[in-house]
Amino acid sequence: MAQNFDICIRGAGIVGKTLALLLARERLKVALVPAAAPKSPAISDVRAYALNMASRRLLESLRSWPDTEHATAVKHMQVLGDQDAVVRFDADTQSVEALAWIVDVPALESRLAEAVRYQPQVEVVDAPVAAALTVVCEGRASSTRAEFGVNFDVTPYAQHAIATRVRCEYPHGQTARQWFSPDGILAFLPLEGTEGNSVAVVWSVMQDQAEALMVLSPEAFAEKLKQASHGALGTLTLCAERATWPLQLAKAGRWCGTAPTDNRGVRSWVLAGDAAHNVHPLAGQGLNLGLGDAQALANVLHQRDYWRSPGDVRLLRRYERERKAALLAMGLATDGLQQLFMRQEGPLQSLRNWGMKGFERSGPLKNFVARQAMGMQ
């Protein structure tokens, strides 16, 4: 007997699984379609995500928040410029438990997979199925988005990101560190709990630099990292493979619509996560935005009139307007910072330094930015 589904989610990554669990709570029958296996090695084993309070609360509500050893609380944050400016954030100053949590990707994916396995309203299927609404969560290279004829406006950056993990001579002290310079943007994200001395590394550098760094021996690469981080955590030792990918700013022209289907009349579709938008990783907000998409779409469907189909385009446009507005500020901020620190002219370096020092002393503005980043609007 054929199974009837209300929602078909294409893409079973973190955003796709989270959305499936949220919609299941609305008593909607969900088909979850895993994306095709990547041709290149997965990078999830070395990446870690910085998740804010809003994302934590969402995942906790789904009983999918990882154990403490896989979700390290960030108590302090240091952002260092290319001269002597430093911007500092502190959890106690903001009266919060943590500024963010650095979460291991495999641990988070495992918890979500377990929750999906025990949710009877969600069925993992091998291929897309007929449903009132198709949600595209396939990531930045989505084939379904192209199938629906959606333009994906991409602005490639000259930079590539390199991700890995290193063990440090000194403990990280639950501090996230970021160095901005014309040569690139380097982030050290604390791992393994309060007493850990390992960090996840995300290093955004020019493409030719990335190619050169990727072929260095582990020891030589670690030495380059030590130099770029000014020896802040002492001697570094690589404890994972390196992965790299190109960086881009991108946004889909449309986030929802209808498309004709064979023998099925018209179906509705909507985009979420990286299939809808990409931002520079310098602010660590990519997955927070994607989880925000999932929460917003679930809220819109929860609030619909009982007689409205989940595929009602008027509902989907409400979601699109809300999430495009949320993306606008973050996209402008990350793109502006990336462009500013790419420039190497002396006067601009001095201007950047002056601006960072002013921001550090700005009081209410600094607090506002911090609370926005923490998902505490």
* Mean of pLDDT values over 263-290: 80
In this prediction, residue 232 carries a pLDDT of 94
Domain 5-373 - what CATH class?
Answer: alpha beta
Q: Is pLDDT at 51 greater than 80 in this prediction?
A: yes
Pairing state between β 5-10 and 131-136: parallel
Residue 180: partners with Cβ closer than 8 Å, 6 or more residues away: 79, 80, 81, 82, 337, 341, 352
Q: Which of 274-278, 282-286, 351-355 has the highest mean pLDDT?
A: 274-278
> What DSSP assignment string belongs to 313-368?
HHHHHHHHHHHHHHHHHHHHHHHHHHHHHH---HHHHHHHHHHHHHHHT-THHHHH
Token pair 């590394």: residue: 201
d(CA 158, CA 167): 29
What pTM value is reported for the model?
0.87
Q: Which of 82-86, 259-263, 290-294, 360-364 has the highest mean pLDDT?
A: 290-294
What amino acid is encoded at 39 in this protein?
K
Token pair 């985009």: residue: 271
Quick: pLDDT tens for 303-330: 998 888 999 999 999 999 999 988 876 5
Quick: pLDDT tens for 75-103: 998 888 776 777 788 888 888 899 999 99
Pairing state between β 175-181 and 184-191: antiparallel
Average pLDDT value for the chain: 85
In this prediction, residue 263 carries a pLDDT of 42
**What residues does each domain of the chain span?**
5-373
In this prediction, residue 39 carries a pLDDT of 47
* Mean of pLDDT values over 140-167: 90
Q: Which of 181-190, 197-206, 279-288 has the highest mean pLDDT?
A: 197-206
Q: Is pLDDT at 55 greater than 70 in this prediction?
A: yes
* Mean of pLDDT values over 173-194: 89
In this prediction, residue 329 carries a pLDDT of 63
CA distances from 132 to 7, 56, 313 (A): 6, 30, 11
Report which of 35, 12, 9, 18 is spatially closest to residue 290, judged by C-alpha positions: 18
Quick: pLDDT tens for 320-360: 999 998 887 655 556 555 555 555 555 556 666 656 556 55
Both tokens of 339, joined, read 């462009």
Quick: pLDDT tens for 10-46: 999 999 999 999 999 999 999 999 976 554 445 557 8
In this prediction, residue 159 carries a pLDDT of 86
In the chain, the percentage of residues whose pLDDT exceeds 90 is 59
Quick: pLDDT tens for 122-152: 999 999 999 999 999 999 889 999 889 899 9
* HSE-up (13 A, CA, CB side) for residue 333: 14
